[in-house]
Amino acid sequence: MSLIKINNENGISEITIDRPEALNAMNQDVVAEFSSVLQAALSDKETGIIIITGAGDKAFIAGADIKAMQKMTAEEALIYGKAGQKLTMLIESSPKPVIAAVNGFALGGGCEIAMACHIRIASENASFGQPEVKLGLLPGWGGTQRLPKIIGVGRANELITTGKIINAEEALRIGLANIISSQDELLPTARKMAGTILRNGPRAIASSLHCIKEGLSVPIKEGMKIEVQEFSKLFHHDEQMEGLTAFIEKRPANFRD
């Protein structure tokens, strides 16, 4: 039975982790299928943007499968951790924007997957946290690396070392969430934002995401070099000419046809 559902419509691929009875917890099978489905969406020429969410209204992803982890050896934990890191890197490195529609718990690996997404929209009942230390563990799918970059070192130190779980309002306040929506409007809100993004140039979007990601790990002068090179590369393609011409002609640009 499939653990992941995917729906493709209007240039949007919606990926749903479908284990509501387990609060969409991530075991090795879910990680493997998720990675495969995500790679297919990235390769699909009709897909311009990806939305990730969880089945049901209780959890986006409540974290790793604790019962499965309890039985792991150190060697098996290393394989599992690397698989989760590969998945989050695949999300983070996507040239197509990835929106997390966070419905309910985004804990542990679920929070790490949400953080790997480019934009996070939270339902009013969403909660975020890295409670691994309460289990004698640490975030292993990039939490110690991404959280400080998103909310700052001091707050990341606090959340990770206390294992504190925060609500949607607090996540919005500290920059972990971009928008809060009601549960009923969560996916419509994500789709509306996706529609706005899809009206813009796909190469320009991919290049912008590349510059942002690469710029986070280098000095600003190096980041500026990356930016100006990507800026100039866009002039090799028809996309920029369509955008500039449409502006001058006072009409909407048609980038994707």
Cβ(149)–Cβ(216) under 8 Å? Answer: yes
202 and 190 in contact (C-beta within 8 Å)? no
Q: Are 20 and 60 in contact (CB under 8 A)?
A: no
CA dist 35 and 38 (Å) reads 5
Active-site choice (9, 76, 132, 242): 132
Residues 6+ apart with CB under 8 A from 154: none
**Inter-CA distances, 109 with 121, 125, 179, Å:** 17, 18, 21
Pair of tokens at residue 213: 């990601």
**Domains with residue ranges and CATH for the chain:** 4-198 (3.90.226.10), 202-248 (1.10.12)
d(CA 47, CA 33) in angstroms, rounded, equals 19
42 close to 59: Cβ distance less than 8 angstroms: no
Cα–Cα distance for residue pair 3/235, rounded to 1 Å: 42
pLDDT of residue 19: 94
Average pLDDT of each block of 10 consecutive residues along the chain (257 residues)?
A: 92 97 94 97 97 96 89 95 97 98 97 98 98 96 97 98 98 98 97 97 97 96 97 95 96 90
* 132 is annotated as an active-site residue: yes
DSSP state of 46: T
214 labelled catalytic: no
Q: 14, 75, 76, 112: which one is catalytic?
A: 112
- Block residue for tokens 């679920």: 110
pLDDT of residue 1: 66
H/E stretch holding 33: helix 28-43
Q: Which two tokens stand for residue 59?
A: 């959890």
- CA dihedral (103, 109, 112, 116) positive or negative: negative
The pairing of beta strand 119-123 with beta strand 165-167: unpaired
What is the radius of gyration, based on Cα positions, of the chain? 19
Token digits of residue 53: 């969410």
